Amino acid sequence: MDKLLIVGSLNMDMVADVDHTPLTGETILTREITLIPGGKGANQAYAAGKLKADVTMFGAVGEDGYGNTLLENLAKAGVHVENVIKRKHTATGMAFITVNKEGDNSIVVISGANATMSVEDIDLGRKLIESADIVLLQMEIPVETVCYTAKLAKSLGKTVILDPAPVPDSFPAELYRYIDIIKPNETELYRLTGMNPAENRMEEAAGWIRERGVGNVLVTLGEQGAYLDSELFGIVRIPAITVQAVDTTAAGDAFTAAAAVKLAEGKDLCEAASFANRVASIVVTRKGAQSSIPTLEEVLAESF
């Protein structure tokens, strides 16, 4: 099986269940806050570990209790964490998350150690990239570090997968050239292209990204499944699976990781996307980020 390397963020999530997402200027009450391991990078790594991939995490935490907890949780899922940097005098990343009654979330990330992941760190970790087959990236570490990693990985012949969340104000056009598969959700797709979401120009938006050098654009559509515009398969729609969503946190992270796991097993991108859709459908029925990610056995036991 091919080896996965995740380069990205680790956060301790502080999750508050709320009746509704607070409006601008509004104060609302909730009874408690729950601490759950998260971070878009770490969620991908955790999901890949649970799905039995050979997966390594590369990122940074602070020298604090939250950092240790995050690494222990990843290690329990079988993720190689030895190379995660423990940064002195820096706090581990945190995320404040509200989840409303519809299961939709709203997230503020306090980057902490994630913001310290530098190009020099990537050079020091070059061996990790050399020994991986598939490199997964997201945008919760500095954009220049993402771009540098993608460029290096691509030059070494690796498959590069980017979840462009959160989409930065200025997304470097150069980055598109180093990506084999990009996995935005619908909002992120339109944000990247500058198109108006209300106009619903999915094909055009995915085509816009393809023209910039990305071989495959895989868009998650929530309750409507997923959409693939692929250099090999053309346009493919992955049908929705109907479930009762309670919390969508980490569904996109798990989707990306699950697709990568199947590619690592030698499956094609259509099969990979379809498996990823099944995994994400389970994630949204459970609360939290890493707490919601199923084992391989649980995915295989699902009848959908």
Stretch that binds ligand RIB, among 36-44, 120-128, 141-149, 216-224 (CB under 6 A): 36-44
Q: Quickly tell me which residue has 């509004």 as its tokens.
A: 26
- Based on the shown chain and the rule CB under 6 A, indicate whether residue 136 belongs to the binding site for ligand RIB: no
The residue within the footprint of ligand RIB, chosen from 7, 13, 55, 84 (CB under 6 A), is 13
Which range, of 80-88, 129-137, 232-240, 248-256, touches ligand RIB by CB under 6 A?
248-256
Cα dihedral 164, 168, 173, 175 in deg (nearest 10): -40
Cα(63)–Cα(286) distance, integer angstroms? 30
Q: How far is the CB of 66 from ligand RIB (least distance, A)?
A: 11
**Is the distance from CB of 249 to CB of 289 less than 8 angstroms?**
yes
Q: What is the residue whose two structure tokens read 């649970």?
A: 50
Is 180 catalytic? The answer is no
Tell whether residue 109 is a contact of ligand RIB (CB under 6 A).
yes
User: Does position 139 bind ligand RIB by CB under 6 A?
Assistant: no
* Cβ-proximal residue to ligand RIB, closest one: 38
Residue 39 engages ligand RIB in binding (rule: CB under 6 A):
yes
Whether the CB-CB separation of 74 and 57 falls below 8 Å is answered with yes
Contact 138, 8 (CB under 8 A): yes
Ordered DSSP codes for 203-218:
HHHHHHHHHTT-SEEE
Region binding ligand RIB by CB under 6 A among candidate stretches 34-42, 56-64, 151-159, 254-262: 34-42
Candidate residues 4, 6, 8, 40; the one interacting with ligand RIB per rule CB under 6 A: 40
Distance of closest approach, residue 107 Cβ to ligand RIB, in angstroms: 5
Query: Are β-strands 134-137 and 3-7 bridged in parallel, bridged antiparallel, or unpaired?
Result: parallel
Residues carrying an active site annotation: 253
